[in-house]
Amino acid sequence: MAAFATNGALPASLLARYAEVKDALGLSPAIFGLVVVGFGLGGALALHMPGVINRWLGVARTASVGTLWMGGGLTLAAAGVALGNPWVVVAGLLITGFGDAAVDVAQNSQGLRVQAAYRRSLLNSMHAGWSIGAALGGGVGVLAAVLGVPLVTHMAVWALICVLAMTLSARAFMPEPEAEPQDAETPARPSGWSAIKILLPLTLIALAGISVEDVGNNWSAVLLSTERGMDAASAGVGLTVLLSAQFIGRMIGDRVIDRLGERSSLILSLSAVIIGLLGAAWAPGVPLTLMGLALAGLGCAITVPVAFARADRVPGLPAHSGVTWISWAMRAVMLSLSPAIGVMTQGSSLPVAISVIVGIAVVALALQLRPRRSPATS
């Protein structure tokens, strides 16, 4: 959980000073948007490499070295701001995004190992740790800005603190399992289209969850101000409500899964996402819109952890490959999801655009409601 918190805390500290970064570089909103997409682009360009790196270094070393790599990238981005050079900022964010992809796979793979050892659901609580860390990192960034700490100094010192925290956490990681020799009883490794057919439903589960986060991060304030007439200065409450509900869902998600089972919990979760987002999109007033956002946040809490857990259990795949696939797919789709909502909003309206995005959760739910196959054919 400390490792997850560290991973959330490191980049969030720079995000909290993005307004200052934009002003220092003198960029228009459109150009600034292209600059900061470097983080997500770096993660997407990592492709299958996080899995390879984790198999090569092991998850403990990957978490530690990857955090050091991220800290270097963020410090480089901060130096780019000091130099007034947006290209250096982009380079730093690309480096950071690549490292974050490797650390993401490492911490989720280790979390799944711990969860399997305890024989009960734990990964959702670990993801709640990421939320706590992100809030802490953001608070540190705000404090540094208020105190006038130079951005390079702030990020270099914070990076060293986070590297130390991750290294100490990684020392307690469980050892890597020994690779089992391939034999007649070991499932054959799926390849090509077979692997995609196995992982695609799991990808849709994860995408259903991050679509809620994207709507909350980028469009909840717009929805409340333009569609519900709320004052723009107060419209940010939508994101606060959604993320607070998501945090609560992650704290209780493990107990829900242990009580109801993974499949039933996932059906309940996806249903809440669908009802919540549609309710938020079409609610007649602010209170019902906030209730919809809260329900969607609560519902999306377990989707990504469950997708990681199921992908990690796919038989025959190389170690960490399933988790790497889910992580990469989320990063790749996030690059286009918000622009797609923007295009649909311009062509129709934001409620219509959100309703279209809900289709991801609808398909994911439909796949979960299919009759289960027998063990012999699974």
Quick: pLDDT tens for 257-285.
999 998 999 999 999 999 999 999 999 99
pLDDT by residue for the chain (378 residues), tens only, comes to 899 999 988 988 888 787 788 888 887 766 776 787 888 888 888 888 888 898 899 999 999 999 999 999 999 999 999 999 999 999 999 999 999 999 999 998 899 889 889 988 888 889 888 888 888 888 888 888 889 899 999 999 999 999 999 999 999 998 877 655 544 454 555 555 676 777 888 999 999 998 998 888 778 878 888 889 888 767 778 878 888 888 899 899 999 999 999 899 999 999 999 999 999 999 999 999 999 999 999 999 999 999 988 888 887 777 788 888 888 888 888 888 878 888 888 888 889 999 999 999 999 999 988 876 644 444
| pTM reported for the whole predicted model | 0.76
Residue 183 and residue 50: Cα distance in Å, rounded?
A: 27
Give all domains of the chain, ordered by start, each with its CATH number. Answer: 2-170 (1.20.1250.20), 193-368 (1.20.1250.20)
Residue 206 and residue 103: Cα distance in Å, rounded?
A: 18
Contacts 24+ apart (CB under 8 A), 159-162: 159/10, 159/68, 159/70, 159/71, 159/72, 159/74, 159/75, 160/71, 162/6, 162/9, 162/10, 162/67, 162/71
